[in-house]
Structure 1
């Protein structure tokens, strides 16, 4: 009988974590399609939605900070911010810590838009079921966080 609380040796851990990667890709793509389907034709794109969610969660941020937080290029984030500003969902404000890198913050319209999207996602996620416990979710977050940290150096290349 396996002891599920004993740390795995590196090769066994790598094999098990490959199973996680095999699920994360399809999960991400299905979630993205679900978000796209829930967005109205005149609503924010998936990319703008990601920036809105980041600002909702963290408050005002610079474009480089958002790029690092999402592990995506600053240029992509800037395009999403430009789209969001054009739609009146976010705005650029002076950054007291750095004159050349403005802070981006939600407008009232952006706050309402992301609240609506998050509420819709919440309703969908209520259907997950599976008798999952808080401990299960905590463990999942710990594993995914460790995997993400292990890949931090990839962005430096």
Structure 2
């Protein structure tokens, strides 16, 4: 009988984590399509939504900070910030910690737009069901966080 609470040996762990990757890919793509359909109503792209969400959750940030947080290139984030600024959803303000790297913050319009998007997504996620517990979700977050951390060395720029 196997002890399911004992840490897995590296080879067994790698095989099990492959199963996680096999689910995460389709989950991400389906969620992205669903988000894109919902965002089309608001005239937002997935990239602009990601910028707005980061600023909503963390407050003003620099473009490089957002790139690191999302593991995407600074150039891509800058394009999304420019798109969001063109729609008056974000604005650039002086950064007291760094003269050359402005802080990006939500405007009132941006805050209202991302609040509407997150409220719609929250309503959808309430329908997940499956008798999931807080422990289940905490374990999922721990596993995905460990997988993400293992890939930190991969250069995204």
The normalised TM-score by structure 1 is 0.96
Partners of 1:156 and 1:63 lie apart in 2 by: 14
* Residue number in structure 2 paired with 1:80: 80
What's the offset of the Cα at 1:42? 5.0
**3-state SS of the aligned residue for 1:132?**
coil
The normalised TM-score by structure 2 is 0.96
Partners of 1:112 and 1:153 lie apart in 2 by: 36
Match runs of 1:47-86 below 5 Å: 47-86=47-86
**3-state SS of the aligned residue for 2:43?**
coil
**3-state SS of the aligned residue for 1:153?**
coil
Match runs of 1:88-127 below 5 Å: 88-127=88-127
What's the offset of the Cα at 1:155? 2.0
* Residue number in structure 1 paired with 2:21: 21
Partners of 2:110 and 2:83 lie apart in 1 by: 12
What's the offset of the Cα at 1:40? 3.3
* Residue number in structure 2 paired with 1:153: 153
* Residue number in structure 1 paired with 2:10: 10
Partners of 2:49 and 2:82 lie apart in 1 by: 13
> Contact 2:73/2:156 (CA < 8 Å) preserved in 1?
no
Where in structure 1 are there 5+ consecutive unaligned residues? none
Q: How large is the Cα RMSD of the aligned pairs?
A: 1.2
Distance change in 2, residues 1:126/1:42 (3 Å): closer
Where in structure 2 are there 5+ consecutive unaligned residues? none
Deviations 1:75-119 (Å, cap 9, x if unpaired)? 000000000000000000000000000000000000000000000
Partners of 1:71 and 1:156 lie apart in 2 by: 6
Deviations 1:16-70 (Å, cap 9, x if unpaired)? 0000011111111111101111123552111000000011011000000000000
Partners of 1:41 and 1:120 lie apart in 2 by: 12
**3-state SS of the aligned residue for 2:105?**
strand
